[in-house]
Structure 1
């Protein structure tokens, strides 16, 4: 009888704790952070370094461990590895190239239902998009990138600076407004963010703007008072337009790993989040969190940030993501 992988995983952790490898103190201190920084590709090629592979029980358990450490999540990992077991029995996977292709295909199959870019605005109406998230995930820059995306698609865009809390947040969005030649509604720092949102919706509708992008203040997902302020913004906008906001996008830094799960749980419990945008997907060893979020919350993933520039925002593509996560060569 096969022992459940999770039991083996916990047992191995216990063994590591009780019998640490013989090394000096500095090596032991540095080993864990270094392991956490490793990409899934690095771990994968350490497990399957040769062109031929043997998918025995030990190999599956090691693959499960590598996926877990990449923040893919327990449920998604179990699903992906079980599908590989089934395929290996029917397809006789015995070389690394075939294993890479099969693993990518399973990831693509899991993620494809969630790859949904934002729809085009309806003619004669204003689509209101609210961006929310914790501090430091890059909401303001993402707001500007989305503005550029809609601008490229020949839609008129307006910005609303509703981050009235962070120092220089209004000025930062104002710089993007000037660079992109897009109008912006703003008040002074410390103003009521709900009032700014109210005025922005009124202005955008009066001017026939296609897309209104609202940048909100970053807030800790455990701060109840700040989450209530976000609810107030939503209520006030609905008084101007019962359909507003049409989209509420939760912005998540992929480098946050499993903490992103707690953020998503908190925001979806308080407001009607309609989709996810992920930043820093290109620069983290923890990109597997994308799979974990999709599997757990079932929210569309609209866009991902893949760089620092204004144009470094792309529609989420499961195929490209799978290739990035499971590369052809060590990373």
Structure 2
């Protein structure tokens, strides 16, 4: 099948984005069929990563500040309230105490985005007004993605209308598990169209896809269909972001960029709560994709508690002492 190179006609309407959107391409089943994943080799490579990159002192502090700028600060709880979201947005504007930022020379540091359910989009947009921080909304029947299709599409449109600049959609896992790649492609194209100018992140729910080959193929299909980002998990599965899954997905991104010239972002989500883990993920992105993927328009952490641990590590760097975790509460 002939491969259609994505066009580069417009740019995403996000303050920090300057790259062409991924307009997608025709479904190339020959390419999909050739995609394989050597699980044992991937797992061996992933197992070496935590010990291969060790940064200390001011270099560690710099990497942790970079991690903060790439966080999608998230609250997706059933008991979310407007007050909780407003506190989260205040933390997004000022993720680390001004005194620490002054000592680090990092005044003006903010997170990458705030991620909420649809009902909280308007509250978050109002709370972040003037900050330049976009609001991301989880959508399409998050987290299971099993609501009627027309309602999933309508949910996207309503979140965009409410002011969300990023939409985190969930794919139908059954399409992957049954090998119905055309259905997955068509679904993702419809979601991409419904997002309009909003940035779309495709959540694969990798812990429910069975094999790394399925992860690799689903990643490629979503990119072919126009995903601006591919994301590991909803954070609600029993297995969320892992290093082997990350390696599989970012190599799919690398292959897609080499073939089409389009850069697609990556977002690990769920289970990343420690500063040292954030550095491992950043180092993997640098090793596999290069420095350009260390910017928030191409890399995000889906996290809530991660920011608190990073702030504790930065305080230790500045003062030489660790503070209690409760001093860095988010909401």
Greater Cα radius of gyration, structure 1 or 2: 1
Length-normalised TM-score, structure 1: 0.35
More relative contact order in 1 or in 2 (CA 8 Å, sep 6+)? Answer: 1
Length-normalised TM-score, structure 2: 0.35
